[in-house]
Amino acid sequence: MKRLEALEVIDRELGSYPLVVTCGATAREMDSLGRRNNRLPLLDSMGLTSAVGLGVALGTDGPVGVVDGDGSLLMGFSILPTLATLRPPNLTLVVLDNGQHASADSMPSQAAQLDLAAAIRGCGLHTVEVGDVAGLAAALAAAVRDDEFTTVVARIQPGNAAGIPFLLEDPVVFADRFVAALRGTQP
Amino acid sequence: MVKEAGPHLRALADGICDAGITTFCHVPSSHVAPVIRDLEARGLRAILANREEEAVGIVGGLRLAGVPAALVVQDNGFGNALTALSTFAIAYHVPLPIFANERGGLGEYNSMIQAISGNVPEILAAVRIRVERLGPSDPVAVWRVTARAAAELATIQRRPVVTLFAALHPALEVVA
């Protein structure tokens, strides 16, 4: 499963909910699927995605999604015990694990050397592992339906999609749209 | 021994409540613990984070969702939090009231902490984060009003605003 294929599934299953997306190629590829105001790409805050998503989930009644990467999650690994402590039932964390920092010249991440899902599970988090499009779709649908904090670790192929443009807007543009979407108002 | 908040720290908590803060995220610190316990006792929701940048992310998400939230931390954690503060809170215009006790000044007992804490005002100034400071020469009433106003300013400006308070200063007990 390529990252872009995984993102298409995420957009289909979680696209109508607030979604916090990790930086680099992941944010760009997600944006290439069509812009949504309820999507917050973190353009340069590597390691912060799951923390921001946790805060949004704690402040929101409906479902909230986070799209993190193995590299980004490893940079902010301390969020896992915090998530395990708080367990917001409306939050679904998707970790796209390609075993590399694909946006950093495809340098290997330490996820290539460890069982990331087992590490997350070791923090006491309900964790589902998937390796294909159908499995990802089913896991996300179940996560939303079951109203339980769920982490979905999706194994994806290394590398980035070609020809995806940079996101050059001022980050506050994304923030304003996201806040307006959360409040049901126009940005 | 559990420390209780003296009049200055209680006034700080008063000001945080006056600003309508309902939720706060904190990182463990013995000297900010009295404030944390005081706020919890008043019914505010307390969220324990493991690192300061994690707290910036959580509170930032809460603020974007419309929850009046703040950080209560110690100033030696600003080194950890600087990238999160700059690339997220500042860049995305997130209102982020931060209340941090100062280390490295009078009353300090730790030889190395001033290496970071002594430079925090300059570090924050370098990324253009506004800093308000509270010490023993400020009356208790000023602690309360400043805490409230700093939280309100963060909301109005949609930026981080840091209140540094000298919780360790020995003169706090003299003037109380």
Residue B62 located in a structural domain: no
Contact between A59 and B62 using a beta-carbon 8 Å cutoff: yes
Enumerate residue ranges in chain B where pLDDT < 70. Answer: 1, 176
Mean pLDDT of chain A: 94
Of B50, B58, B88, Cβ closest to residue A45: B88
Residues of A in contact with B87 (CB under 8 A): 42-45
| Tens-digit pLDDT profile for residues B64-82 | 999 999 999 999 999 999 9
Residue B170 burial by CB count (10 A; 0-12/13-18/19+): exposed, middle or buried?
exposed
* Min Cα–Cα distance to chain B from A132, Å: 30
Residue B56 located in a structural domain: no
Q: Look at residue A171 in the predicted model and tell me its pLDDT.
A: 96
How far apart (Å, rounded) are the C-alpha atoms in residues A109 and A120?
16
What whole-number percentage of chain A has pLDDT above 70? Answer: 99
Nearest residue of chain B to residue A73 (CA atoms): B54
Helix axes B7-18, B33-41, angle to 10 degrees: 50
* Min Cα–Cα distance to chain B from A153, Å: 21
Q: Count up the domains in chain A and report the number.
A: 1
Give the structural domain span for B100: 7-16+80-109+118-176
Give the model's confidence band at A187: pLDDT under 50 very low, under 70 low, under 90 confident, else very high: low
Structure tokens at B97: 């009231």
Residue B25 located in a structural domain: no
| Tens-digit pLDDT profile for residues B117-139 | 999 999 999 999 999 999 999 99
| Tens-digit pLDDT profile for residues A157-175 | 998 899 999 999 999 999 9
CATH number at residue A50: 3.40.50.970
Q: Count up the domains in chain B and report the number.
A: 1
Residues 6+ apart with CB under 8 A from B36: B24, B26, B46, B72
pTM of the model: 0.96
Give the structural domain span for A172: 3-183
Tally of CB atoms within 10 A around A165:
8
